[in-house]
Amino acid sequence: MNWKWLAALGATSLGASQVDLHRMAARFAPTEIGADLSRLPESERSALAKLIQAAKLIDALFLRQVWSGNESVLLDLSKDTSALGRARLQNFLINKGPWSTLDGNAQFIPGVPPKPPPANFYPPGASKEAVEKWIQSLDEPQRKLAIGFFTVLRWSPAGVGKFQVVPYSQEYQPELADIASLLKETAALTTDPTLRAFLIKRAAAFSSNDYYDSDLAWMELTSAVEPTIGPYEVYQDEWFNAKAAFEAFIAVRDEAETAKLSKFGSELQEIEDHLPIDAQLRNPKLGAMAPIRVVNLIFSSGDGNHGVQTAAYNLPNDERITKEKGAKRVMLKNVQEAKFKVVLVPTAQVALAPAEQNRVTFEAFFTHILMHELMHGLGPHVITVGSRASTVRQELKDSYSAIEEAKADISGLFALQYLIDKGVLAKSMESTIYTTFLASCFRSLRFGITEAHAKGIALQLNYLLDAGAFGTSPDGTFFVNASKIKAGVAALTRELMTLQAQGNRSRAMQLLSSLSVVRPPVQKVLDRLSHVPVDIEPKFKTAETLLSVAR
Ligand code: ZN
């Protein structure tokens, strides 16, 4: 069956047989996710075990938020011991519902409805128009509550056709009370004051429905154990993107990468001062960087664990906090590593010349991701066009995201080379960073070039091919041209940062229309990747061990 074809049609039912269900699930390779906790103090290890218990309760809330029928379908499936029933259950657990995310949310269990766009956040059976009209009729404080992150709308007992606003603290009261107790118990176990403050404030938020203080406390976490637990992302609300879905990521800090990050942080001004752009375009004084945490995931649940797995996230979404403090970026290193092994290595075996394949390393892959994040903060942002003060984002408009993503990638390579030349990074990385980036281009382009990051990748790949910095062998595989790659990377960094400094949208559009395309030699490689898994299905080994010890 051609899954992509089905997705393109927006298929409503797969009528999936056991064979189909196995093939669907096989796109997610079961992979152990965990971390070495031997250096974590006993107190923090018990806190971690308790947090996992709390996170487990998030799944039921998320299932109910997505669809009111989800929990009963899951109950039925878990009683079905037939092979077909077990295959359905496996896909249900991967997708957290009876719809396949990789197949345009097609149903794979007979008798279930199509995935409801309003999820379970709005009164069942109400039309979008009726809800919108009702919201518009409210006075300002009521309207704010109705469109807020942490409320659902329900039918009102006050009269036919009337709605009411119900806070999460009421709608999900019993489960939130249980989760809050576990968070308070965790607070009593940890010796870290920032973790204790977050847990106590988050437990209070579950009953007060006010998440502001606990979001602030989350920004200020400096603990070895790093939990993210609560209602966060709004993608499940396909009507208004207003309602937050429950999720949890329970993780521990990666000490080595955290140290690397702070080492890079102290080099950033020097890198800015040596960017391959005209001297007057460089920023003589970089501002403070938004916080970045590198962690290893121990357990995730709810919205944080279904379909294609999250490898990094920026939170909170509350604008009152992001305006003052920015957002914190959390990078899940072991999830990236699992994806690297399961998806990137086999992709490289198809895409790269044999001599190149042992130059694809996780070290190079992850170090480049870290540098990509940091490079978003370098280069032109606030600019002058004519005599008018403006920003790159305002001037580039619809071309901004793709250009900015490409800039972060390519200048990230430039920065890594700078640090290699300076002796901050090992000389051996010179032979891995470019090849690893080349392989990752194919991973990013596999599902088309619709979003900004993939557009940026296609732009870079074609630019570097045209510059002779990447090449194609007669057998159709790709390679890095060591004599031209450094110049190619510097030239493209200069090109993108200069057009950003000029606010030159027409140049940006010209680059995107000529280079953000999949050319035939690239497509040929992509066509040969169908056997490579799309993603991982995490198996939380460390969490299981922790819980069995705690029991
Ligand atoms: Zn980025």
- In angstroms, what is the span from residue 330 Cα to ligand 1's centroid? 13
- In angstroms, what is the span from residue 315 Cα to ligand 1's centroid? 15
Only one residue has tokens 């898994």, namely 533
- In angstroms, what is the span from residue 145 Cα to ligand 1's centroid? 33
Count other Cβ atoms within 10 Å, centred on residue 405: 22
C-alpha closest to that of 492 among 276, 274, 272 = 276
**Percent residues over pLDDT 70 in the chain:** 97
Residues 297-338 have pLDDT tens digits of: 999 999 999 999 999 999 998 888 888 888 899 999 999 999
Dist. CA 316–CA 326, nearest whole Å? 9
Residues 207-257 have pLDDT tens digits of: 999 999 999 999 999 999 999 999 999 999 999 999 999 999 999 999 999
3-state secondary structure of 35: coil
- In angstroms, what is the span from residue 121 Cα to ligand 1's centroid? 31
**Helix or strand holding residue 231 (H, E):** strand 225-231
* CB distance 196 to 187 below 8 Å: yes
Contacts of 478 (CB under 8 A, 6+ apart): 351, 352, 353, 356, 438, 470, 471, 472, 525
- In angstroms, what is the span from residue 421 Cα to ligand 1's centroid? 24
In the chain, the amino acid numbered 305 is: N
Dist. CA 341–CA 308, nearest whole Å? 15
CA dihedral (292, 293, 294, 296) positive or negative: negative
Backbone angles phi, psi at 522, to 5 degrees: -70, -45
Q: Which residues surround ligand 1, an ion (CB under 5 A)?
A: 408
- In angstroms, what is the span from residue 375 Cα to ligand 1's centroid? 9
C-alpha closest to that of 253 among 296, 221, 218 = 296
- For residue 236, what are the CA distances in angstroms to 119, 247, 332, 355, 373? 7, 12, 22, 44, 26
- In angstroms, what is the span from residue 115 Cα to ligand 1's centroid? 30
- In angstroms, what is the span from residue 407 Cα to ligand 1's centroid? 9
Tokens of 463: 């630019």
- In angstroms, what is the span from residue 453 Cα to ligand 1's centroid? 7
Dist. CA 299–CA 139, nearest whole Å? 42
Write down the pTM of the prediction: 0.91
- In angstroms, what is the span from residue 68 Cα to ligand 1's centroid? 36
Domain boundaries, the chain: 1-27+68-113, 352-518
Q: So what's the pLDDT on residue 551?
A: 60
How many helices (H) and strands (E) in the chain? 26, 15
- In angstroms, what is the span from residue 401 Cα to ligand 1's centroid? 9
- In angstroms, what is the span from residue 545 Cα to ligand 1's centroid? 35
- In angstroms, what is the span from residue 531 Cα to ligand 1's centroid? 28
Low-confidence stretches of the chain (pLDDT < 50) are 1-12
The DSSP call for residue 425 is S
- In angstroms, what is the span from residue 70 Cα to ligand 1's centroid? 34
* CB distance 21 to 85 below 8 Å: no
Q: So what's the pLDDT on residue 124?
A: 94
- For residue 221, what are the CA distances in angstroms to 50, 227, 411, 438, 482? 18, 9, 30, 36, 43
